[in-house]
Chains A and B, each alone.
Chain A
Amino acid sequence: MRGKIPNMDQLLQHILNALILGGTYALLGIGLTLIFGIMRVVNFAHGELYAFGAYMMYLWVMVLGANFYLALPLAVLLGVMLGAAMELVLLRRLRGADIDTTMLVMIGAWITLQNVEQMTWSGVAKSINTPFPSSPLVLGSVSLSWNRLFVFVVALALIGATYAVINRTKLGKAMRATFQDRDTAALMGVDINWIHTATFALGSGLAAAAGALLGPVFVVVPTMGDLASLKAFAIVILGGLGSIPGATIGGFILAFMEELGAGYVSSGYRDAMGFLLIIVILLVKPTGLFAQKERIG
């Protein structure tokens, strides 16, 4: 540590890293917050859908030899299907059950999915080839990989698409209605069963998309979902339970906290930074940053 003015290049690199990381954090957070907001389900299996997306990407690209850009939507589609299946088989039966029972079932699903992944793919890390150049994109004194830039752009597009679905479509309207008051929405002719399946499938698809996007950036291992779940929960609590703008902004805030905290305070506390911030925010605003009153009642 030198006591001089912070190195400008280093600061720029930290900011760039945080922006890129924030995009994927937001994607993870939105899927989880959507499921909690509408279904009141604490989805512990969220990280496993992230891992599932990554493994499906591996399956298509590395095992079956599919084109990278084609494999991506296929992996996400499989994630959507797994999500829908989980809702139909597990959650539909638990509609009236209390939140703790559902939570336990989701913990079971988490453990089961993770162990199935290890049985199928073994514990050895897998890597996925990408069509991007291996030399990084250099912008003056900072640089980033093409793959991460691609991830960032697609993540933003997916976040935009999710907003559009929620705010501009009939399905979105029905989702928002269910969110506000399930019983009234049902009386107004909203098919609650279908909304729940669609919500869980959409949230799962977003998690799978994050996994399919990040699998090639990192390596694919059966335990990769644990950290993703942890981050997603932090983001959702930070942003306010059930709030989509909250999860989006929360994702970026967490990324900036981690990146700058590790860069200028201590890398040993990188993951503690985010949680420190959560404690501070919850002390000041116990519902999280963006949860509106009528949305939590």
Chain B
Amino acid sequence: MMSRTFKTALAVLGATLLAATASAQDTIKIGVTQPLTGAFAASGTYVMQGAKIAEEQINKAGGVLGKKIQLIVEDNKSNPTEAVSTAEKLIVREKVPVMLGAWSSTLTLAVMPKLEEYKVPMLVETSSSGKITTSGNPYVFRISPTSEMEARAFTPLVKSLGIKKADFLATNNDFGLGASKEFSEMLKRENVQIGTMEVMDPKATDFSAQLAKIKASGSDTLFVTTAVEQITLILKQAKDQQVTARIITTGGSNSPDQLIQQAGDAANGSSHLVFFTPWFPEAVKNPDIARTFVALWNEKKHHVGGLTEGFRGWDGIYTIVEGIKAAGKAEPEAIQKALWGVKVKGINGDIAFIKQGPAGRESAQNVPSVYLVKIDSGKVIRQ
């Protein structure tokens, strides 16, 4: 009796193992580490949903190198320590040859040493801190703009918007502090006076003290860098405290649709730097791809406010798959080499990489498009 049970168990185990190897040969795995729970759960989920749509489309069109792609999604819980373990798990256990991740700058920076250790490339879809591509990690391929690129794209608008004095309110992490630094330096070069530079805890919900100080500084513009949840609260609380400065948010994780829904008329008059304009797909470089994506997103009944975040997942997966195709095999080092040469028509625009960081150890950086939109009477308009 005993031995039969044992044999059955062995057979089951063996079958599972065989099945595992079989499926590994049938598909090409792509690791995805995103914050699906914790503080950035909403945004990370949108990116993952965008990536899944890309996976479906690519597989419908026959996959890559004659195989289907398979996303292995891990939740990094908005926590840098967890982000490191998800990367380790994806590389060591799942043996993925390439990854997409890890949403916030702090999460991405935490994962980066693991990429070097295991020599696996990662496509960075959201993070904007300059450090990511300047610290000399040749396994980083970033498609999102750095804060410095955003600030540069904003330069011509300083005059047309008539900015004379600006304040800053940023979330206290690599993302927020980096953006405040780059934008304030750019404004100083444009002879704009800098008022007060405030920060807030990434989890904080009450900004009354910061806003009272900002109100007293008497600037005409307030630059805000954080994710959509805090932006919602800042818009509402700025209205309560009668802060009259024009609010401009940077970083592209500002979901104007969600702001209109949740901040109501407090959102009116605010401007937002975004990297995709689903409200007017004709404004982007590849309008057909943008329209296809919006249609598929709506078909899945995903949250409309997630489009400006979800497109990153799509662009990321398409770029990775292009890299695999160019490499001719699903191996980390071949993909890392091949990604340098890819040209992808993405939702944000045409994706291609330039070198950044110390010579010999350069990271790859895309030069994305940046758009400024404004919320006016509950609608998103071009600015």
Contacts and interface: CB of A to CB of B under 8 A. Distances in A.
B212 A218 contact: no
Contacts of A122: 41-42, 45
B209 A258 contact: yes
A267 B199 contact: yes
Contacts of B172: 268
A54 B183 CA distance: 36
B204 interface: yes
Given A7-B216, A10-B216, A125-B42, A259 B205 contact: no
A224 interface: yes
Interface residues of B, number: 46
B106 to A, nearest CB: 16
Contact of B39 (A223, A258, A261): A223
A10 B213 contact: yes
A127 interface: yes
A263 B258 CA distance: 29
Nearest to A11: B212
Contacts of A118: 37, 41
Nearest to A119: B37
Nearest to A221: B229
A260 B237 CA distance: 17
A218 B198 contact: no
Interface string B184-222: 000000000000101111011110111011011000000
B42 A271 contact: no
Nearest to B229: A125
Contact of A267 (B45, B209, B236, B262): B209
Contacts of B208: 13-14, 17, 20-21, 259
Instruction: Find the residue from B40, B228, B229 having the highest chain A CB count within 10 A.
Output: B229
Contacts of A180: none
B38 interface: yes
B380 to A, nearest CB: 18
Contacts of A1: 196
Interface in A84-123: 115, 118, 122-123
B233 interface: yes
A1 to B, nearest CB: 8
Given A10-B215, A118-B37, A124 B209 contact: no
Given A138-B242, A143-B240, A144-B241, 17 more contacts: A118-B37, A125-B229, A125-B262, A136-B242, A145-B237, A218-B205, A218-B233, A223-B203, A224-B205, A227-B203, A260-B209, A261-B209, A263-B212, A263-B213, A267-B198, A267-B209, A267-B213
Interface of B: 36-42, 44-45, 172, 196, 198-201, 203-206, 208-210, 212-213, 215-216, 228-229, 232-233, 236-237, 239-242, 258, 261-266, 303, 305-306
22 contacts: A13-B212, A13-B215, A13-B241, A118-B37, A122-B41, A124-B42, A124-B303, A125-B228, A125-B258, A127-B262, A134-B264, A134-B265, A134-B266, A136-B240, A145-B240, A148-B240, A219-B229, A227-B203, A227-B204, A263-B212, A267-B213, A271-B204
The list of the 3 closest CB pairs from A to B, nearest first, reads A123-B41, A262-B209, A17-B208
